[in-house]
Chains A and B, each alone.
Chain A
Amino acid sequence: MAENETGLPVHERGGRGNALPVLEAGGHDKDGSPGWVTTKLDYVVNWARRNSLWPMPFGTACCAIEMMASAATKNDLARFGMERMSFSPRQADLFICAGRVSYKMAPVLRKIWDQMPQPKWSISMGACASSGGVFDVYSMVQGIDTIMPVDVYVPGCPPRPEGLIYGILMLHEKIRGESLAYDSLRSEDDERVGRANLPAHAINELALPFGNSTQQNQVSGLVGTRAIARPNDRQP
């Protein structure tokens, strides 16, 4: 790679002589790897982003209490720059869905996620937000990833504050690995407004009962219910 007077590398294709090197659309070198400037800029930007993630606490149920506890004095979110809980999605970076989400709440959740401007990340906190949890019932969303994209899943019922913090640190690692070069990562995608995040067959597949749920869909047994069962519900 050529160098100009300042000693910084410059792309030969975009060469501007003595000016500062130009970041190509994509910021890649000719050989395809990210340029030096790109990586340094990425480093700085990602450092700034991950160390002041302003959470949008979408707390619905018990996990919200543990989220509040992780913001309180004993497990202090302020050391991660996250004490400023932004209840307005317009000013938030991190969407923490803490608690179970019903189908009545789903459009609200989707709308809040859509209202958040990029860059935005999401944490699905707890078993109910990640997969429906204990509630494999008619009114519960079986995992918010059917409705919106999720970056980190934090299991637990509810996860301890330490668990949530571990998830946040995992997100920090994820942010570290991002690059401005990847345009599609941070595009404001309007076409998906109002649609589910996953296609229909994926939602049905994810929501199939598994494990104990397959055996726990019968009532007292001494009473004939003539309820309609779905044979797929009985898969192991």
Chain B
Amino acid sequence: MSRRTIEYDVRTSGQMGADGRPVSVPPMPAGIEPEMHGEHMLINIGPQHPATHGVLRLVLELDGETVVRCIPHIGYLHSSFEKLGEYRGWNQIVPLTDRMDYLAPLIYNCAYAMAVEKLMGVEVTERCKVLRVLIMEMDRIFSHLLWLGTTAIDIGAFTVFLYTFQQREEIYNLHEGLTGARITTSSTRIGGMMADTPPGWLDAVQKWVDEFPRTLDEVDTLLTNNNLWIGRNRDVGAIGPEDAVDLGLTGANLRASGVPYDVRKDAPYYDYETYDFDVPIGEHGDCYDRYLVRMEEMRQSLRIMQQALDRMPGGPINVDDPRLILPPKTDAMNDMESMIHHFKLVQHGVRAPAGESWYSVESSKGELGMYVVSDGGTKPVRWRVRGPSFINLSALPKMVEGHLLSDVIAVNASLDIVLGEIDR
């Protein structure tokens, strides 16, 4: 039996064009099909839906398949973290922070502790600073991996989901080694960390940092020059820089539109100005650019992690401040004063001076702001979380106007939202 070979020309062969971007098929010229209009249709997506990344409800007004208007409804996960924070001591709020952005819990733990430490005027130790930088970058990658997996699965590429989740399992092991929990880490305290790194943990992180780029390269091969991926993401959900700033977008969404704003560079904290890393900036502000920016951000985070591992100093992890840190257990058991000290701290908790503080941190989703207001007591008067996803999502209606229904899913995925942070 003879074999027949079929060749066909796909036109988007992954060749790079003159502008450095893959060449795509030119759009169908106008006039081929008659314009058709009809009655608009109301479609409800969610709140229970696989592709809404949580309990998000989108009500779309459609003209055929084109979105005329999109109205997001949120609040289906409103757990009143902020109100609950008013009834908890300063250290008791740390476990609450994990559950807001459960995809990058260590970033939230650190941001909250940093805000309260600023309010109190406490400077953490060098080791604590470098360790916090290390874990924040690790969780940035952690969150981007989930974004990558779920975005790919929304667009239809299932394999990437499995690859990224396998790498996330490695990070889960690292989380567990440091804090005892996979997701809800609760690892920071006011004035330091819950505990120092266990022996061998930093070597495990180093090993993971060495091995992770292989997976990134694999995913890169699968997606970046893939015609289907480009076709679904390029020129979809584009937003310009002025609109992006006006709508309050932050993070990769803002940088993909060409605005070079990154809190680590513009308002650096924890010696970020001494680390050597780049911030990728996009051009067109579409889904494809957001994808490229986040992929590159993961590589840059690896750079920062390597530098943090190299410069990790020794020394204590917690500040030596009796107002904040419990005494060593042997002292507390043997010495009356230490026991009283322990008692005061455990019964009443730490106290903050009256006043307020705002702390901005570059989280994986965007700019995370923690605003704490204190009246001098052991609990905050107000704890406000400026969740980046809340504001990023408010830009969604503008980004999907005029696009197709399936593009709504792609744009929603590319915004990288987490509902725990939106609904708080």
Residues of A within 8 A of B (CB): 58-62, 64-66, 68-69, 72-74, 85, 87, 99-100, 102, 104-105, 108, 112, 134-135, 137-140, 157-158, 160, 216-223
Contacts and interface: CB of A to CB of B under 8 A. Distances in A.
Interface of B: 47-50, 54-55, 75-80, 83-84, 86-88, 95-96, 98-99, 102-103, 146, 161-162, 165-166, 168-169, 172, 182-184, 374-381, 419-420, 423
Contact of A87 (B50, B87, B375): B50
Contacts of B80: 135, 137-140
A232 to B, nearest CB: 17
A72 B48 contact: no
Given A65-B146, A100-B79, A135-B79, A158 B184 contact: yes
6 contacts: A61-B419, A61-B420, A99-B77, A102-B75, A137-B84, A223-B375
Nearest to A74: B169
A62 B381 CA distance: 27
B165 A68 contact: yes
A104 B166 CA distance: 34
B83 A157 contact: no
A140 B374 CA distance: 26
A105 B50 contact: no
Contacts of B102: 61-62, 65
Interface on chain B toward A: helix, strand, loop, or mixed SS?
Answer: loop
Contacts of A100: 77, 79
Contacts of B182: 66, 69, 158, 160
Interface on chain A toward B: helix, strand, loop, or mixed SS?
Answer: loop
Given A65-B102, A66-B182, A102-B75, A220 B379 contact: yes
A64 B146 CA distance: 12
A102 B78 CA distance: 6
A1 B156 CA distance: 59
A105 B86 CA distance: 24
Given A137-B84, A223-B375, A72 B95 contact: no
Given A102-B76, A137-B80, 7 more contacts: A60-B54, A72-B168, A85-B50, A108-B47, A220-B379, A222-B375, A223-B375
Residue among A100, A112, A138 having the largest count of chain B Cβ atoms under 10 Å: A100
Contacts of B84: 134-135, 137
